[in-house]
């Protein structure tokens, strides 16, 4: 039995069927990517797992329990935490205050809270340096670190991320995906939704391709990266590759040796 088992879910917005019988699985310690173009249903998938949208049919099981109709806050408490699209941090609160809110479930256990915060600061030294700074004054990459850090505060067993690299430079996008890869290696399962297919496939164990609310392709990340259909649809042609390479060159010129801070 996998840690997460999504079986044939159907999710509607009014009479628009956004998910049409979607099934995915994530094992403990696994990093799984979901690829798909705009409007495919990626966000809806993550929101449904978190209890923010409801499946009209089908089921979501987490850690051997049915959570299809479980309240969102309770799902977080059971160890499934989402880093939402667009980060959603509190811009008028400090870094430390944002993290404390992430740990609200342990608000009565100060020692545990401090321990979790130390783990987050070890993971993202840049956040430790900026702990007293208002979140709204952080760079895009630092805000994404904070959004991920806030999720880590809940001590998740599965962390889901909705386009964490959106709006970040290729360098920072890679750094973020690599650190998320490390979570999986340390036993926290990861389900990441990405439009940045090339980078996601480079670090994930497995991947699914989502098209109009259904999984149309799945397999080992390395197999999908080599798949002609995936290359055509998601890895771009010559022009996109040239563009990415150009971006990489530009970044090399101003390369920050440690984009996540510290060291
Ligand atoms: N709140 C909403 N109300 C109505 N339709 C929505 C809503 N959110 C998403 N949709 C529709 O559901 C489909 C899937 O959207 P979404 O899950 O956001 O896709 P993705 O994240 O892959 O871009 C799209 O057709 C989108 O227009
Ligand atoms: Mg989306």
Assign residue 43 the CATH number of its domain.
3.40.50.300
Say what the pLDDT of residue 250 is: 72
40 within ligand 1 shell (Cβ under 6 A): yes
Same-domain pairing of 32 and 127: no
pLDDT of residue 193: 96
45 CA to middle of ligand 2, Å?
Answer: 9
What's the whole-model pTM score?
0.90
- Asked if the model's pLDDT at residue 263 lies above 60, the reply is no
| Least confident interval from 73-87, 96-110, 240-254 | 240-254
**Does the pLDDT at position 228 exceed 80?**
yes
Mean pLDDT of the chain: 91
Range 107-116 contact pairs with CB under 8 angstroms and sequence separation of 24 or more: 113/153, 116/152, 116/153, 116/155
* C-alpha dihedral (207, 211, 217, 221), degrees to nearest 10: -20
Question: Which single residue is written with the structure tokens 């993202």?
Answer: 124
Determine the pLDDT at residue 74.
95
Residue 263 covered by a domain:
no
262 assigned to some structural domain: no
Q: Which atom of ligand 1 is nearest to the CA of 14?
A: 4
The position carrying tokens 């979790």 is: 116
For ligand 1, is residue 46 a contact (CB within 6 Å)?
no
How many helices (H) does the chain have, and how many strands (E)?
Answer: 11, 10
Do 148 and 167 fall within a single domain?
Answer: no
Contact 102, 149 (CB under 8 A): yes
pLDDT tens per residue across span 147-158: 999 999 999 999
Q: Which of 7-11, 27-31, 90-94, 229-233 has the lowest mean pLDDT?
A: 229-233
Do 227 and 97 fall within a single domain?
Answer: no
Residue 171 lies in a domain: yes
Q: Are 224 and 201 in contact (CB under 8 A)?
A: yes
- Radius of gyration of the chain from its Cα atoms, rounded to whole angstroms: 18
pLDDT at 29 over 60: yes
Query: Are both 117 and 185 inside the same structural domain?
Result: no
Domain that holds residue 94: 89-155
Reply yes or no on whether the pLDDT at 206 is more than 80.
yes
Ligand number with the minimum distance to the CA of 84: 2
In short, whether 41's Cβ falls inside 6 Å of ligand 1 is: yes
Domain boundary among 130, 155, 180: 155
98 and 46, same structural domain? no
Same domain, 54 and 107: no
């Amino acid at each position: 039995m996998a840690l997460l088992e999504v079986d044939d879910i159907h999710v509607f917005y009014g009479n628009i069927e956004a998910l049409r019988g979607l099934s995915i699985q994530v094992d403990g310690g696994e990093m799984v990517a979901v690829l798909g173009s705009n409007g495919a249903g990626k966000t809806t998938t993550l929101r449904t797992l978190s209890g923010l949208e409801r499946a009209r049919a089908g089921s979501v099981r987490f850690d051997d329990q049915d959570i299809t109709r479980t309240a969102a806050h309770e799902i977080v408490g059971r160890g499934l935490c989402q880093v939402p699209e667009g980060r959603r941090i509190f811009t008028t609160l400090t870094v430390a205050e944002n993290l404390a809110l992430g740990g609200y479930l342990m608000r009565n256990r100060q020692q545990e809270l401090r321990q979790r915060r130390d783990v987050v600061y070890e993971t993202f030294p840049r956040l430790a340096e900026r702990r007293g700074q208002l979140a709204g004054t952080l760079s895009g990459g630092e805000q994404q670190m904070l959004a991920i850090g806030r999720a880590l505060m809940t001590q998740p067993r599965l962390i889901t991320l909705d386009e964490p690299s959106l709006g970040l430079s290729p360098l920072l996008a890679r750094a973020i995906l690599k650190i998320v890869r490390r979570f999986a290696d340390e036993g926290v399962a990861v389900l990441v939704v990405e439009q940045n297919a090339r980078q996601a496939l480079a670090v994930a164990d497995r991947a699914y391709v989502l098209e109009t609310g259904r999984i149309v392709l799945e397999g080992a990340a390395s197999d999908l990266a080599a798949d002609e259909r995936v290359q055509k649809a998601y890895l771009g042609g010559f022009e996109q590759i040239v563009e990415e390479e150009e971006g990489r060159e530009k970044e090399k010129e101003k390369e920050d040796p440690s984009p996540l801070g510290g060291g």
